[in-house]
Amino acid sequence: MTDHKEDKQEISIITKHKIDVEDDNRKFEHDNYYNSCCLRCDKRALQFIVQAIFSAIVIIFCITILLVNQDCATFSRYGPLLGLVIGVWLPQPHMNSK
């Protein structure tokens, strides 16, 4: 008799755990996925791709302007912008001390 009762409790615990895991998966998908009528993708990947494309456009534009107009006024406008965008993407240097 006790074995049957313990089996029911074990099944109940497993079912509750399974429901909790499914709820966590739904919450993860709701928080991290973008859904539209024809597209379903990860929000983080979409944000990265948009940032990378925008940064590439700015870098190409700045380099083109700097190569075409080689005067000091042009460099003082587009040089810092180019440095800012590249500086955002490069990792911060650090020294490993052992």
Identify whether 96 is part of a domain.
Answer: no
Q: Provide the pLDDT for residue 54.
A: 93
Residue 21: per-residue pLDDT: 54
Domain total of the chain: 1
Domain-located, residue 18: no
The pLDDT of residue 56: 93
Run of H or E residues at 33 = strand 33-35
Say if 55 falls within a structural domain: yes
Q: Which residues of 70-84 are buried (b: 16+ CB within 10 A; e: fewer)?
A: eeeeeeeebeeebee
Q: pLDDT (tens digit, 0 to 9) for every residue of the chain, 98 residues total?
A: 455 665 566 656 666 555 555 655 566 566 677 777 887 788 888 888 989 999 999 999 999 998 998 888 888 889 999 999 998 888 777 777 76
Q: Is residue 79 part of a domain?
A: yes
